[in-house]
Structure 1
């Protein structure tokens, strides 16, 4: 009767198997990390796009409705000339920014109640220090004339964008066809340029440009 002895693997074979296992594990981990990184970047890009688009849509909507009034007499429209220079909307330099044309203020009868209170004022401006777009939330009181970007006080302007997710690096309102003729233009339009970058990835930069026609010019 012959005896058969079971032989194990040699030390060299064991070491080779361990190296191959480590290589496979490294490849799998690398693919997983790459997938997680791509997913994180995609989420950041989506968040940035969503934030900029939401703010842009709000500004476009309000500027487009500048000067609207639900009253019967066009001649007595209190929103047609409440902003500085006797306009329903005008562009200024934000007191929170070094950039020119970084603020817009306007007025319209948003709730169609045929009244003229200061709560009908709207405004958007750039805040360099916060890296954010500020929006004007006005209280209810008598509507005055010659309104500009310094209207009311700092407590009436609040950050509109999420500072934890997005850094707003630029906001410019360009009167068209030119700043010099904006007040006397038959048809007024404003071009909005909004630029921002992701807080989690500074390489993610987006810029939106929209041209808005003021529909309620008189």
Structure 2
């Protein structure tokens, strides 16, 4: 019985195998790294959109409360008199379309904060937090402003404030991740013949760095801040 002589790989065959194996591993590694990078970029963009949507929702929810007075039903029924002190004096012009009808007050005021970019980048408002009616307490003044590429929420804001510097402010966006380039509040009044509605348009623009590029996102919302005013 004869044993068959075994032959191994030659040096050339071994080197070719190593080169081909290295190329395959390099291709797989490149695809893996590319997938991870794309996934990270997608997560960063999704986070930016989610953060901006959350901030916009917070502003919408809070601004809608502007001018709320807890004893409104009693006020409407005549058992409580006097102006709603949770509003500012209305300087809206031109005059109302119906003679003898005046609109005394409005729910919120828009200002420009000097530490933020652009005009009308701050809004101040009040609402009856404890539903007690009467005069507003110090903890019932609120606001939002753009400050050094961050959106900040304000509390303990006195009604006398006109430059958005009073009160206590806290950032609700992270400028290490998202840079807010524009926050603008635009008061609007719709004036049909029989009623009037107050609105605030909020324009928001932000940017974030993704894959050595700057991605910009814009959002806009139209918020009704008071019940419709019926003309008589």
TM-score range, shorter chain: 0.7 to 0.9
Give the gaps of 5 or more residues in structure 2: 77-81, 93-104
Deviation string, structure 1 residues 25-47 (Cα, Å, up to 9, x no partner) = 01110111112112211221222
Deviation string, structure 1 residues 87-145 (Cα, Å, up to 9, x no partner) = 320211112124111111111113323251121111111113xx200111217xxx64x
Deviation string, structure 1 residues 40-78 (Cα, Å, up to 9, x no partner) = 112212221121111111111122221110122254321
- Structure 2 distance, partners of 1:151, 1:84, is 23
Stretches (4+) displaced over 6 A: 82-85
Q: Does 1:193 align with 2:198?
A: no
- Structure 1 distance, partners of 2:199, 2:26, is 58
- Structure 1 distance, partners of 2:124, 2:209, is 28
- Structure 1 distance, partners of 2:90, 2:58, is 19
User: Could you tell me which residue of structure 2 aligns to residue 114 of structure 1?
Assistant: 133
Aligned length: 205
Alignment CA distance shift 1:82-1:43 (3 Å): farther
Q: Does 1:26 align with 2:33?
A: no
User: Could you tell me which residue of structure 1 aligns to residue 116 of structure 2?
Assistant: 97
User: Could you tell me which residue of structure 2 aligns to residue 164 of structure 1?
Assistant: 176
Deviation at 1:186, TM superposition (A): 3.0
User: Could you tell me which residue of structure 2 aligns to residue 42 of structure 1?
Assistant: 42
Deviation at 1:2, TM superposition (A): 5.0
Choose which of 76, 81, 86 in structure 1 pairs with 2:88: 81
Native 8 Å contact 1:83 1:89 kept in 2: no
Alignment CA distance shift 1:13-1:109 (3 Å): same
Native 8 Å contact 1:67 1:217 kept in 2: no
Native 8 Å contact 1:90 1:105 kept in 2: yes
Q: Counterparts in 2 of 1:122-133, with a 5 A limit?
A: 122-128=142-148, 131-133=149-151
Higher relative contact order at CA 8 Å, sep ≥6: structure 1 or structure 2?
1
User: Could you tell me which residue of structure 2 aligns to residue 204 of structure 1?
Assistant: 215
Give the gaps of 5 or more residues in structure 1: none
SS in 2 for 1:9: coil
* Aligned CA-pair RMSD: 2.7
SS in 2 for 1:59: helix
Deviation string, structure 1 residues 159-188 (Cα, Å, up to 9, x no partner) = 12123322211111122259xx9xxx9322
SS in 2 for 1:203: strand
Deviation at 1:23, TM superposition (A): 1.2
Native 8 Å contact 1:65 1:216 kept in 2: no
Alignment CA distance shift 1:81-1:46 (3 Å): same
Bigger Cα displacement from structure 2, 161-170 vs 75-84: 75-84
TM-score for the superposition, normalised by structure 2: 0.77
TM-score for the superposition, normalised by structure 1: 0.81
